Structure 1
Amino acid sequence: MSVYIQNFLKFRPLLNELVARDIKIKYRRSVLGVLWTLLNPLFMMIILSVVFSNIFRFEIENYPLYILSGQVVFNFFSDATNGAMTSIINSGPLIKKVYVPKYLFVISRIFSSFINLMASFTALLLVMVATRSELHWSVLLVPVPLLFLVVLSTGVGLILSAITVKFRDIVHLYGVFTTALMYLTPVIYPITQLPEWLRKLVELNPLTNILSMVRDVMIYNHIFSPMSVIIAIVESFVMLVLGLYVFYKKQDSFILSI
Structure 2
Amino acid sequence: MSKQTKVSTDGAKAVATWNTGIKRDWSILRELVSKDFKLKYRRSVLGVAWSVLNPLLMMVVMSVVFTHFMRGANMPPEIYPVYLIIGNITFSLMSAATNDGMWSIINAAPLLKKVKINRIVFPVQKVLFSLVNFGLSLIAVAFVMVWARIPLSWNILFIVPFLTYILLFCIGLGLFLATLAVFFRDVIHLWSVVLTAWTYLTPIFYTMDILPEYLQHLMRFNPMYQYIDYFRTFLLYQQAPSLRANAACLVMALIALAVGYLVFRKNEHKFILYI
Measured against the shorter chain, the TM-score band is over 0.9
Q: Aligned to 1:142, what secondary structure does the other structure show? A: helix
C-alpha separation in 1, matches of 2:163 and 2:75 = 23
User: Is 1:92 aligned to 2:112, yes or no?
Assistant: no
Once the 2 structures are TM-superposed, how far is the Cα of residue 160 of structure 1 from its aligned partner?
0.2
Higher alpha-carbon deviation: 22-31 or 91-100: 22-31
1:108-257 map, 5 Å: 108-257=125-274
Q: Aligned to 1:49, what secondary structure does the other structure show? A: helix
RMSD: 1.4
Q: In the alignment, which of 8, 11, 14 is matched to residue 28 of structure 2?
A: 14
Once the 2 structures are TM-superposed, how far is the Cα of residue 5 of structure 1 from its aligned partner?
5.1
C-alpha separation in 2, matches of 1:40 and 1:54 = 23
Counterpart of 1:31? 45
Higher alpha-carbon deviation: 82-91 or 26-35: 26-35
Q: Aligned to 2:68, what secondary structure does the other structure show? A: helix
C-alpha separation in 1, matches of 2:141 and 2:41 = 21
Once the 2 structures are TM-superposed, how far is the Cα of residue 147 of structure 1 from its aligned partner?
1.2
Higher alpha-carbon deviation: 154-163 or 133-142: 133-142
Q: In the alignment, which of 63, 88, 96 is matched to residue 71 of structure 1?
A: 88
Percent identity, aligned pairs only? 38
State TM-score, norm by structure 1: 0.96
Q: Aligned to 2:47, what secondary structure does the other structure show? A: coil
Unmatched runs of 5 consecutive residues or more in structure 1: none
Once the 2 structures are TM-superposed, how far is the Cα of residue 24 of structure 1 from its aligned partner?
1.8
C-alpha separation in 1, matches of 2:109 and 2:115 = 10
User: Is 1:59 aligned to 2:71, yes or no?
Assistant: no
Once the 2 structures are TM-superposed, how far is the Cα of residue 35 of structure 1 from its aligned partner?
1.1
Q: Which has the larger radius of gyration?
A: 2
Q: In the alignment, which of 113, 118, 129 is matched to residue 101 of structure 1?
A: 118
CA, structure 1 residues 217+10, in 2 after alignment: closer, same or farther (shift >3 Å)? same
Counterpart of 1:45? 59
Amino acid at match of 2:215: L
CA contact (8 A) 2:74 2:209 kept: no
C-alpha separation in 2, matches of 1:4 and 1:196 = 51
C-alpha separation in 2, matches of 1:6 and 1:208 = 39
C-alpha separation in 2, matches of 1:24 and 1:98 = 23
Q: Aligned to 1:55, what secondary structure does the other structure show? A: coil
Amino acid at match of 1:60: M
1:119-173 CA distances to partner (integer Å, 9 max, x unpaired)? 0111101111122112111112122112101110000000000110111111111
Q: Aligned to 1:189, what secondary structure does the other structure show? A: coil
Q: Aligned to 1:200, what secondary structure does the other structure show? A: helix
State the aligned residue count.
258
Q: Aligned to 1:165, what secondary structure does the other structure show? A: helix
CA, structure 1 residues 13+35, in 2 after alignment: closer, same or farther (shift >3 Å)? same
Q: Aligned to 1:201, what secondary structure does the other structure show? A: helix
Unmatched runs of 5 consecutive residues or more in structure 2: 1-13
Amino acid at match of 1:170: V
Q: In the alignment, which of 84, 97, 113 is matched to residue 80 of structure 1?
A: 97
